[in-house]
Amino acid sequence: MENIDNINTSFKYTEEDELFDYIVSLDEKNVNNFLSRKKYEIYDFRSKDGKNSTVLHISVYKKNFNIVKSLIEYCKLNFEDKLNKFVNEENAKGISPIHYASFGGNLDIIKLLIENGADITKKTQKKLNIFHYCAQGNMPNSLMYFYLKFRENKNEKKKDKYKLFFEKDGAGSNILHWAVYSIAEDFLLYFINLDIFDSEIEKLNFINMQDANGFTPLHLSIISKSSRIALKLLQSGADTSLKDSNGRTPLEFAINKGEDNIKDILEESKKCQLFRMRVPLRQIKRNYKNVISIFIFQFISLAILFFSTIPIVFYKYEHNQYINILFYIFLFFLAIFFLLYFLLLIIDPGIKKRRSLEELQNLLKNKVDLTKYCYKCFILKTRTSKHCIICDCCYDNFDHHCYWINKCVAKNNFILFIIFLFATSLYLMISFVLAILGLINIKIFTWDNFDYEYFCKNHFLFKFFESNEPCTILYKSNFVLHLILNIILTLIILIFLIPECFLLFLHINVIFTNYKIEKMNKKSNIRISTSPLLNENEESSFNL
């Protein structure tokens, strides 16, 4: 692949060189003075660095709108018939000013060139179009400007409307290959999320397109050594099984190139993530599977607890007041668990309002830098905000996406989530104690001598079951069944308890680290505010 060419800026002195020199040093005043002297055939002025660039190439590359405007106005005024040639002139590599303008992302220059006849479909000698250059320059501004422009064309099909986005260069590389190769992460994200594909399959085909070497964009992320981009590609559905022309999959290629970070990501993306506490490494859509599974597990464990474990524990420790208190604490936390879980399910974590495409148009008019904005919501990114790819929206104070509540933990539900983690950990620990007490006493307990009616009368929760035949049968059933049930209960509790405690630990750690950082910031603020005083003292001591 061949990147955009830098323009060589050393010139010798002739009249032509003089103009080149003013442009390179962005000397607007002297450019205008020069042009006012006489009629120069500036459309024929060429740089002598072997690149054969015109004055327009260089002023566009330097992103100086006023000089570009002066040159175009000058040509229009003095040689109107040459204007089109001047605006579309190619340099030694077949690069036109519009290519440099797309690379630079200055929309005023792009508009000015187009107004004066620049051909946006032009390709360089290597068959690169303007969008391959937008990608190289990481310029979502140019991309979104053209996207909005193409979008206005209501009658055409998407395939025709956006055909310039889909073009390949001479080496079979598409816009994504170029973005990945140039480590243009912002551009990549903006592009992948555009509504320009007829179907999801077409989009995936584009993301997995292979160039002349058989490289997919994912292969190229290894060449550009960008694990972040590899991650974004995987999350967008990049195929890890496609082989390059040497028969290497991205994983084999990463091993081959010694890119350990990307190797780890690619290996990890194949594994099933049991507790899903890390960022997803493949495309994931929001679903309620985990929420439903929480209710199923809760139902199973509570059924075992109430019909097997608790009767065993009470049979053994009927007159032990501590065990009775433990039981009431357990009931309390059970209620708290369901209450908090329900609240977490209904509370909005603080979704930030997304901007429409019309509002995006206004942003572009106001010349904002889109790399500082979310590629999907078009709102300004902050230090703590993040776009969640699963919820598909932005949050302030983003913490993580929680699969167990099927939404993000962010500004509005962070504290509630911490309380929930804390309460759930206690709840699970008490359940665990009960389960262990049940397991160790299962041996000495025989269901034959268990007085079911007495149990129901003495424990208010079980009054409901007093005349319930099926329950009596369950209690009379055999030892092995209860043993198995209690082992299942213990395992279920452990499966939830371990990650729960880990998560709690992690969050407490994060809170303390943030607290420390805040404290440090405060301290450093004080130091900054006292520094003028220090300087004063230093000065005075120097004077003395």
CB of 362 to Zn ion, least distance (A): 18
Rounded to the nearest angstrom, the gap between the alpha carbon of residue 511 and the centroid of all alpha carbons in its chain is 23
DSSP secondary structure string for all residues of 82-129:
GHHHHHH---TTS--HHHHHHHHT-HHHHHHHHHTT--TT---TT---
Query: Which of 222, 394 has the CB closer to Zn ion?
Result: 394
DSSP secondary structure string for all residues of 349-380:
--BPPPPPHHHHHHHHHTT--GGGB-TTT--B
CB of 189 to Zn ion, least distance (A): 10
CA atoms within 13 A on the CB side of 246: 7
Distance (Å, whole) CA 369 – CA 28: 24
Rounded to the nearest angstrom, the gap between the alpha carbon of residue 73 and the centroid of all alpha carbons in its chain is 44
CB of 370 to Zn ion, least distance (A): 12
CB of 191 to Zn ion, least distance (A): 15
Query: Which of 111, 376 has the CB closer to Zn ion?
Result: 376
CA atoms within 13 A on the CB side of 284: 23
From the list 219, 211, 213, 221, the residue with the least C-alpha distance to 240 is 219
Distance (Å, whole) CA 504 – CA 508: 6
Cβ-contact 416, 347 below 8 angstroms: yes
CB of 438 to Zn ion, least distance (A): 38
Of all residues in the chain, what percent are helix, strand and coil, respectively (each to 5)?
A: 60, 5, 35
β-pairing verdict for 393-395 and 386-388: antiparallel
CB of 377 to Zn ion, least distance (A): 3
CB of 353 to Zn ion, least distance (A): 10
Query: Which of 123, 355 has the CB closer to Zn ion?
Result: 355
Query: Which of 228, 243 has the CB closer to Zn ion?
Result: 228
Cβ-contact 110, 98 below 8 angstroms: yes
Query: Which of 374, 430 has the CB closer to Zn ion?
Result: 374
Tokens of 156: 């055409």
Interface residues toward Zn ion, by CB under 5 A: 374, 376-377, 387-388, 390-391, 394, 401, 408
Query: Which of 4, 390 has the CB closer to Zn ion?
Result: 390
Cβ-contact 248, 240 below 8 angstroms: no
Rounded to the nearest angstrom, the gap between the alpha carbon of residue 50 and the centroid of all alpha carbons in its chain is 42
CB of 402 to Zn ion, least distance (A): 8
CB of 395 to Zn ion, least distance (A): 7
Q: What amino acid is encoded at 8 in this protein? A: N
Query: Which of 90, 399 has the CB closer to Zn ion?
Result: 399
Instruction: Please give the angle made by the CA atoms of 341, 342 and 345, to the nearest 5 degrees.
Output: 90
Query: Which of 53, 406 has the CB closer to Zn ion?
Result: 406
From the list 189, 169, 280, the residue with the least C-alpha distance to 229 is 189
Query: Which of 212, 415 has the CB closer to Zn ion?
Result: 415
Query: Which of 248, 352 has the CB closer to Zn ion?
Result: 352
CB of 192 to Zn ion, least distance (A): 13
CB atoms within 10 A of CB 6: 8
Distance (Å, whole) CA 432 – CA 429: 5
CB of 179 to Zn ion, least distance (A): 19
Dihedral of the alpha carbons of 274, 185, 363, 350, in degrees to the nearest 10: 20
Distance (Å, whole) CA 362 – CA 365: 5
Distance (Å, whole) CA 531 – CA 544: 20
Query: Which of 172, 280 has the CB closer to Zn ion?
Result: 280
CB of 352 to Zn ion, least distance (A): 7
CA atoms within 13 A on the CB side of 538: 6
Contacts of residue 169, defined as CB under 8 A and 6 or more positions apart, other chains included, come to 123, 126, 127, 128, 129, 132, 178
Query: Which of 402, 421 has the CB closer to Zn ion?
Result: 402
Query: Which of 406, 486 has the CB closer to Zn ion?
Result: 406
Tokens of 493: 């509790």
CB of 54 to Zn ion, least distance (A): 41
What 3-state DSSP class applies to 3? Answer: coil
